[in-house]
Each structure stands twice: as C-alpha cells, then as structure tokens.
Chain A
Amino acid sequence: MWLAAALAALQLLMAALGLKGNGEVMAAVRPVAVVQGVLAIVAMGVLIAVFWRSDMSVALVAANSHSAKPWLYKVAGAWGNHEGSMLLWVTILGLAGGAVALLERRLPERTLIATLGAQAAIALGFYAFLLFASNPFARLEPAPADGMGLNPLLQDPGLAFHPPTLYAGYVGLSVAFSFAVGALVTRDVGREFARAMRPWVLGAWIFLTLGITAGSYWAYYELGWGGWWFWDPVENASLMPWLAATALLHSVTVLATRDGLRAWTVMLAVVAFSMSMLGTFLVRSGILTSVHAFAVDPRRGAFILALLVIYIGGALVLFAARVGTVRQGTMFDPVSREGGLVANNLLLSVILGIVLIGTLYPIVAAGFGVQLSVGPPFFNKAAGPIALLLVAIMAVGPLLRWRRDEAQAVIARATWPIAATAFAFAGLIVFAMPIGVLPLLGLSAATGLAVASVAPLWKRDLRRTPLFTWGMVIAHLGIAVSLAGMACDAAFTAERLIALRPGDATRIGPYRVTLDGISPVVADNWSALQAQLTVTRDGGSRRLYPQSRTFTDPPTTTSESAIATVLDGQLYTVLGVADGRGRWQLRLWWKPFVTLIWFGGVLVALGGALSLLGRVRPRRRSRPEPAWL
C-alpha cells in the first residue's frame, strides 16, 4: 500500500528531471506520467478497500469510520477526512497528468513536456505532503475494536458526490496552470496554446459547477434552515476558483479566436489554480471560522501554504520575467465580441477580488486588533450590483460580432431582451410588490438574460448550429434559470414557525400541514424522533417525515429535513424540540421555484459538456494531420 505512493513520487522526480534534458528523456516523460496516474489510482483503490473492510488497524479508518455504517458511507468515508481527501486530490491529479500525456496532440512537443513537468512538480509536492504530513495508511497498534465514526453531518449521499467533483475541478485547473507555466517556459503563448488548453479548462469548469451546485443543495437540506448559500469562507473558497475558471474560459476563447489577451489569459490560469490551492488551504488550515470546516489542522495548513508559495510564487516570478518577452496580442475595438468578453473578464475578476478580500478581511482586521465579521450583507451589497452588470454584459455579449460592431445595430438586436426585462420589471412592480430591490432586479435581469441567451439561435438552422454554440446558449440560459431561482427564493419564500400538538394543523403557502404524530425510529448507527406530517394541496396529499436524529458514534444531534418537491417549488419541513407541554416545534418553508437554482447549475454544466463535445469532436477528425499547428 505504501509502495504505490512512494513509487509514484519517485517516478515523478524522474519526470521533473526529464524536462531538463532532451531527446530520449523527453520521450520517456509521457509514459512515466501515465504510469504515475495508474499508481495513484491503485493507492486510492487500496484506501477505499481498507475502508470497505473496516480495517481498524489503519489509524485513519479507526478515526473516521465505524463498522456499523452503511456501505456507501464506508466508501465515501475514504475521502470524508483530511488524509483521504488529499489522496483523492493526488489521484485525480495523477489521472489528469496521465490523460494529458495520452491525449494531448496539439501542443508543440517542448511546451507539452514543460507542461507535464509543471504537472509533475505539483504532484510531487502533494506526494511529499501525503507521505510526510498526512499519511492515510498510518497504522495503529493495537487495532481498536471499533472506529470513532464519521461526522454525522457528512453521513449523506452528498459526500459520495460533492468532494470528488469539486476536487476534479480544482485539479483540472492545475492542468491549465501547468499549460500556462509550460507556455511561459517555451514562450509559446498563442492560438494553438489556447485551443489545447480550452478543453481542460472547460472540463475543470464543468466539474466545479457541478461540485458547487451539489454542495449548495447538500448544505440546503442538511443544515435545516432553508438557506442554500451562506457566504461562508469554505463556500467562498469553492466559488473563487469557479469565478476565475469562468473568466479564464472566456479569455481563452478570445485568445483562440482573435489571438488577444495573451498575458491576461496566462495570468488567469495561474490565478485560477492559486484560488483552488488557496481554497484547499482555507478549508484545511481552519484560520477562518466556518460551518463546513471538518478536518482542521494548522500544521498541515502550513504545508499547503508552503506548496502554494512555491508554485504560485514561482509561476508569478516566471510570469513577470517572461511575459514581457511574449509578443503583445491583437488590440480590440471596444464595441465588439472581444470587447464584451473583456468586460466579462473584468467584472468576474472584480467579483473574485471582492469575495477574496471580504473572506480574508477579518484576518487582516484581527492583525490590527479589531474583531469583526464580514458576511452575507456585505457580499450581497458589494458583489450584487456588479453581478447584475455582468448579467447585462452576458446578455448582450453573444449578440456582438467579432472584431467590430456598431452600437446602434447591437441595440436593435437586443430589442427583445430589453423589452422582456422591462416587461418583467413592470409586471413585478404591479403584481408582486413589495419585494426587495435585489430580487426585483434579479428576476427582471433573469428574464432578459433568458431571452437574450436563446437569441443567438434566432433565424439559424438549428441542425447546423455548432455544438459549442448550443453549449454557450444552454450555459447562459442556466445562469438565467439559476438567477431566477435565487430571486424567487429571496422574494417569495413563506415561513411558518409553529408549535403543534399531534392532530393540529397549520397552513403554509398553498399547503395545509397536519402533524399526525411523533414516533421513535432506530437505525444501525443512529436513533431519531420522527414526525409524520400529512401535507395537502388542492385535494392531493402526501406524507413527509422530518427527523431529529441522534447519532451514537460520535454522539451528535442533527435535524433531517423532509422536502416535498413539486413543479413550482419545494415545501421544506424541519422538526425542532418539544416544549415540554406536548407540543412540537416545526419549521416550515414554502419556497416557490427554489429548485431552479440547482437546476440552473446543472444546465450550466450541461452547456459546458456540450461545448466540450463540440470542441473535441472536430479535433478528433483533424488528428491525422501533421502537427504543424
């Protein structure tokens, strides 16, 4: 078990050294990268197997698992802790490195080798981290009879899905980073570089989108207060790489199509990966207080920080020294597709900056002896208006022509979206007031964006529209859908907090909720009090079973919400405590169209996937051509 990781580290060293030489050594780098990927997968497989068998002689298993746990959580428990999640990270890193080595054919050989070298350097750092600071296979003598169990908040199907997706995204950005470093080393920043990097950025971005969407939904139903985004440091840590990756995705398109924004794109690739490393650091070091901080250890934080300094600091020095020698790219006209994309990058970067500074500001303030909190009100006020501006750019951007466009013509093309926005705005003011300013603007903007995002398909032969255009349309539509969901949730959520005796009923939104009774439930590793609720709407009725769970290993109480999902929203029910006089506290929310938030997220990812397919397929066809590109 040990051997796999150690051997992989050794081979990585070879790969890193290989970069310095040439000829035969260069030829050997590709296979080495592949083998390293395979070895990392083996190591991860072994860890999962150990968790599966509940082998308590492994310290990590004993600390985080319990033999009475359902099998899904035993397996997912393998990455539900610090060591395992770092191994998962490295595994995905190895996998990505291997994939680059196997699949990448467009890049000039030298740049590719430099890329693989950078990739190897990153992996090497993380292997060192794993082996010296957080070995997942450390033994425990003597083996305890049973494990301590996994944090109950993590005992959820979400754990099986959320971390691997997010990590795949983080690590995908490392590929973009390696590409950037590789290109800086060989000074080869141009269209081919952008086209080669684009699928990787796109892939990473899809995973990030899915990971954040899943994480948000998980927090939504698990924390039991109906919130889906808290501007919590750990959430921000996952949002920042996404913002950077989204900006990168758009700037790489400019680079690929118009050969502009060279230095900026390279810079963004570095920033995107530093954000994912910073994210890992913030989550692991525990320097910020968070609801989601589960495995915190400052010493390990220091290790990640050291890696961060080596890679990002190194890359930025390289950037400062080398980018001056990279030829200046094409200049743009302000009113043009490029101009729109530059504005997109600008606004995304500003939001990224706001989130970053807002997240870290309490640390800075603490340095000056001031204790303060920066939370949702700040982020909403500071980033909200800029996000709305971004939505406007997003709506108009795809309607712009490359190179040069006329302002009047653009306004003419945007007539329908503008009309839709105005119509929605007026309609909301007349029928739905009072709602907050941000939800009002958000909902109007979402309407306009939805119309604008399908506008590029207008008068086009749908069968001949390229897949990546479809991808863009669907991704932008997804943002509109998600935004609409957020605004609806903020504007129209109805809340009912009430203490009921069994038999009592109450009304919430379109529903009538009856508490039929409370009964105990027992499972393998928890026991619970469960409420039986009958919810009726327009004659149809169904039952919901919110629980208040008490876990035995480790002993903790959680509330398990019960949610009825219907087409026009969700009924969210939570069981609270008893008041000692036979009544039970219930928290009920009717959230119209809240599901759109995550549905939109999935649409965005789907758009990304279509786009990826559209970019990769024509490339396959052109592969037999000589690598003159």
Chain B
Amino acid sequence: MRILLPIVLALSPAIALAQSTAPAALADTQLADPTQEAAAKALMETLRCVVCQGQSIADSDATMAGDMRALVRQRIQAGESPIAIRDWLIGRYGDYISYDPPLSAATSLLWATPVLLLGLGVWIARASFRRRR
C-alpha cells in the first residue's frame, strides 16, 4: 500500500488526461448482429487485459482494454473467426494474452491435470472399497 500510493498519485493526472480522448468506436458499442456480438463477447472474456491486474478485456475499465474490445468487434464484424483473432493476438503478445492456455508442450501437463487427478483419486479410493460378494 505505502509503496504503491506515490505511484498512484503520480499517475493520476495521466489517468485524468487519458479519459479526455474519446474511446474507440466499438469499445463499448455492440455489434448490430447478435450472433456476431455473442461471438465477440465470448472471445473478449477469454482475452487478458495487458495493462490490468488480472482481468479479462470484457470486464476492465482500462482504455487499452477498450481498444482491444474495439479491435475484436471490428474483426468479427469483418467476418474473421474468433480463433483467427486469438491466434493473431497470441502472435503479438504470446500465450499470456489468452486466458485459455493453448495446448502446447508447456501446457500439456496443465490440461492433463483433471484426468491424472481423477486417476490418482480412483486408485487411492479403491483401497477403501471391499469387493462385492
């Protein structure tokens, strides 16, 4: 707290100024087509805001998150698929940008977790059951 406060104080004029420029057109405007909007919304919820402390761009007040929402909506509107947009962003920012870790050597253990744990659990629980007569 005490360390952070001066930083907040120093940044506050910047925050105030940043708000004076109007947000990007599609940052907080929905797409006319409800299917497209739903696809955009679903994608936004899986993208991590790069300037915030662990929020998705779908629920962040940061202006940069707004710009990212605008980018997602524009590309969806142009007919791009959510997966392509996500891959494009991963190409720019690395896996960090996606809350949905893409399957790779580094994340294989993570995605195997449920199965491994379930197997381990069944193996342990087996010990407490007696066979049916």
Contact = CB atoms under 8 A, between A and B. Distances in A.
A and B in contact, CB less than 8 Å = yes
Contacts of B56: 230, 375-376
A333 interface: yes
Given A357-B113, A587-B28, A260 B99 contact: no
A293 interface: yes
Contacts of A233: 54
A377 B114 contact: no
Given A332-B130, A350-B121, A371-B94, A81 B99 contact: no
Contact of B55 (A291, A497, A555): A291
A233 B117 CA distance: 20
A232 B48 CA distance: 12
Interface in B100-133: 100-101, 106-107, 110-111, 113-114, 117-118, 121-122, 124-125, 128-130, 132
Nearest to B20: A580
A625 to B, nearest CB: 32
A376 B98 CA distance: 10
Contacts of B111: 382
Interface in B8-34: 8-9, 12, 15, 19-20, 22-23, 28-30
Contact of A373 (B99, B122, B125): B99
Contacts of A423: none
Contacts of A376: 45-46, 56, 99
Interface stretch (A178-186, A221-229, A480-488): A221-229
A350 B123 CA distance: 13
A342 B128 contact: yes
Contacts, number: 158
Interface string A300-337: 00000000000000000000000000000101111100
Interface in B28-62: 28-30, 41, 45-46, 48, 52-56, 58-61
B92 interface: no
B129 A295 contact: no
A385 B118 CA distance: 12
Contacts of A148: 2, 5
A353 B1 contact: no
Nearest to A381: B100
Interface residues of B, number: 51
B86 to A, nearest CB: 11
A354 B117 CA distance: 8
Identify which of A226, A339, A343, A382 gathers the most chain B CB atoms within 10 Å of its CB: A382
A53 interface: no
A599 interface: no
A554 interface: yes
Contacts of A295: 1
B131 to A, nearest CB: 9
B89 to A, nearest CB: 12
A264 B128 CA distance: 10
B118 A333 contact: no
A365 B122 CA distance: 28
A304 B22 CA distance: 45
Contacts of A291: 52-55
Contacts of B124: 346
Contacts of A329: 128
A556 interface: yes
A499 B22 CA distance: 12
A528 B64 CA distance: 23
Contact of B30 (A230, A288, A495): A495
Interface string A349-367: 1100110011001000100
A386 B99 CA distance: 20
A296 B19 CA distance: 28
Q: Is the interface of A mostly helix, strand, loop or mixed?
A: mixed
A329 B12 CA distance: 63
Given A260-B128, A497-B28, A497-B29, A350 B114 contact: yes
Interface in A489-508: 495-499
A374 B23 contact: no
A426 interface: no
A416 interface: no
Interface string A254-285: 00000011001000000000000000000000
A339 B53 CA distance: 43
Nearest to A233: B54
B121 A349 contact: yes
A373 B95 contact: yes
A353 B113 contact: yes
A372 B1 CA distance: 27
Contacts of A370: 95, 106
B61 A63 contact: no
Given A358-B110, A376-B56, A555-B8, A371 B96 contact: yes
Contacts of A290: 53-54
Contacts of A22: none
A499 B12 CA distance: 25
B12 A382 contact: no
Contacts of A227: 59
Contact of A226 (B9, B28, B59, B97): B59
B118 A378 contact: no
Contact of A378 (B12, B19, B110, B129): B110
Contacts of B54: 230, 232-233, 288-291
A564 B2 CA distance: 37
B12 A555 contact: yes
B61 to A, nearest CB: 7
B59 A372 contact: no
B41 A495 contact: yes
Contacts of B107: 361, 365, 372
Contacts of A381: 100
Interface of A: 63-64, 81-82, 148, 151, 223-227, 230, 232-233, 260-261, 264, 288-291, 293-295, 329, 331-335, 339, 342-343, 345-347, 349-350, 353-354, 357-358, 361, 365, 368, 370-378, 381-383, 385-386, 495-499, 554-557, 559, 576-577, 579-580, 585, 587
13 contacts: A81-B1, A291-B52, A291-B53, A350-B118, A354-B113, A365-B107, A370-B106, A376-B56, A378-B110, A497-B30, A555-B9, A557-B15, A559-B61
Q: Which 6 A-B pairs have the closest CB atoms?
A: A375-B99, A225-B59, A377-B100, A331-B130, A372-B95, A289-B54
Given A350-B118, A373-B48, A382-B114, 6 more contacts: A226-B59, A294-B1, A377-B46, A554-B5, A556-B8, A585-B28
